[in-house]
Structure 1
Amino acid sequence: MTASPRTAPVIAFRADASRRIGSGHVMRCLTLADALTAQGATCHFLCRPHDGHLIERISAHGHQVHRLPPAEEDHDEVASAVAGEDAPEHADWLGVEWPVDAEQSRHILATLRPDWLVVDHYALDARWETIVTPEGCRVLVIDDLADRAHRADLLLDQNLGRWASDYAGLVPEVCRVLVGPAHALLRPEFADWRDTSLARRQHPRLRHLLITLGGVDADNVTRQVLDSLSRCALPDDMRISVVMGATAPWLDDVRAQARRMPWPTEVVVNVDDMARRMAEADLAIGAAGSTSWERCCLGVPTLTVVLADNQEGVAQALADVGVARHLGDAEAFAETLPFELAACQEPATLASLSQAASRLTDGLGTGELVRHLISLPMEERHDA
Structure 2
Amino acid sequence: MTAIVDPMSVVFRVDASIDIGTGHVMRCLTLADALSSKGVDCHFVSRELHGNLIEQTRLRGYTVHVLPAPCDKTYLAQEPPYASWLGVDWLTDAAESSSVLRDLNPEWLVLDHYALDGRWEEATRQHWQRLFVIDDLADRTHIADLLLDQNLGRQVSDYKSLLPEHAHCLVGPQYALLRPEFAELRPYSLMRREAGALRHLLISLGGVDKDNATGTVLRTLQDCPLPEDCTITVVMGGHAPHLDDVQAAAATMTWPTEVVINVSDMAKRMAEADLAIGAAGSSSWERCCLGLPTLLLILAENQKQIAHAMDASGAALILGDPTQLDKLSVRWESLTQSHVLAQVSKTARSVTAGNGSEIAYELMQKI
Q: 1:175 Cα deviation (Å)? A: 0.3
Q: Does 1:149 align with 2:146?
A: no
Map residues 84-163 of structure 1 onto 2, 5 A cutoff. Answer: 87-134=79-126, 137-163=129-155
2:298–2:321 CA contact under 8 A, matched in 1? yes
| Aligned position for 1:23 | 22
Q: Deviations for 1:63-107, whole angstroms, at most 9, x for unmatched residues?
A: 1100001112x43x3313xx2xxx211011111010000001011
Q: Deviations for 1:106-129, whole angstroms, at most 9, x for unmatched residues?
A: 111011010000000000000101
Using CA pairs under 8 Å that are at least 6 residues apart, name the structure with larger relative contact order, 1 or 2: 1
Equivalent position amino acid for 2:361 in 1: V
Q: TM-score, normalised by structure 1?
A: 0.93
Q: 1:6 Cα deviation (Å)? A: 4.9
Q: 1:347 Cα deviation (Å)? A: 1.3
Q: Does 1:79 align with 2:70?
A: no
Q: 1:135 Cα deviation (Å)? A: 5.6
1:206–1:344 CA contact under 8 A, matched in 2? no
Q: Could you tell me how far apart the structure 2 residues matched to 1:5 and 1:176 are?
A: 30
Q: TM-score, normalised by structure 2?
A: 0.97
Query: Which of residues 245, 250, 260 in structure 2 aligns to 1:268?
Result: 260
Task: Kindly report the root-mean-square deviation, in angstroms, between the aligned alpha carbons of the 2 structures.
Answer: 1.3
Query: Which of residues 214, 225, 233 in structure 2 aligns to 1:233?
Result: 225
Q: Could you tell me how far apart the structure 2 residues matched to 1:119 and 1:372 are?
A: 16
| Aligned position for 2:36 | 37
Equivalent position amino acid for 1:164 in 2: V
Q: 1:345 Cα deviation (Å)? A: 3.4
Map residues 113-262 of structure 1 onto 2, 5 A cutoff. Answer: 113-134=105-126, 137-262=129-254
Moved more, 231-240 or 158-167: 231-240
- 5+ long unaligned stretches in structure 1: 377-384
Equivalent position amino acid for 2:45 in 1: L
Equivalent position amino acid for 1:9 in 2: M
Quick one: structure 1 residues 324 and 121, their matched pair in 2 at CA, closer, same or farther if it must change by over 3 Å? Answer: same
SS in 2 for 1:119: strand
Moved more, 341-350 or 321-330: 341-350
Segments of 4+ moved more than 4 angstroms: none
| Aligned position for 2:355 | 364
SS in 1 for 2:36: helix
Q: Could you tell me how far apart the structure 2 residues matched to 1:126 and 1:5 are?
A: 35
Q: 1:373 Cα deviation (Å)? A: 1.9
Q: Deviations for 1:361-380, whole angstroms, at most 9, x for unmatched residues?
A: 0011111111122345xxxx
Q: 1:333 Cα deviation (Å)? A: 2.4
Q: Could you tell me how far apart the structure 1 residues matched to 2:202 and 2:14 are?
A: 28
Equivalent position amino acid for 1:78 in 2: Y
Quick one: structure 1 residues 174 and 342, their matched pair in 2 at CA, closer, same or farther if it must change by over 3 Å? Answer: same
Moved more, 298-307 or 5-14: 5-14
Q: Could you tell me how far apart the structure 1 residues matched to 2:295 and 2:116 are?
A: 32
| Aligned position for 1:9 | 8
Query: Which of residues 338, 341, 344 in structure 2 aligns to 1:347?
Result: 338
1:109–1:133 CA contact under 8 A, matched in 2? no
Q: Could you tell me how far apart the structure 1 residues matched to 2:49 and 2:65 are?
A: 13
Q: Could you tell me how far apart the structure 2 residues matched to 1:193 and 1:134 are?
A: 42
SS in 2 for 1:189: helix
Q: Could you tell me how far apart the structure 2 residues matched to 1:212 and 1:277 are?
A: 11
SS in 1 for 2:126: coil
| Aligned position for 1:329 | 321
1:325–1:340 CA contact under 8 A, matched in 2? no
Equivalent position amino acid for 1:359 in 2: S
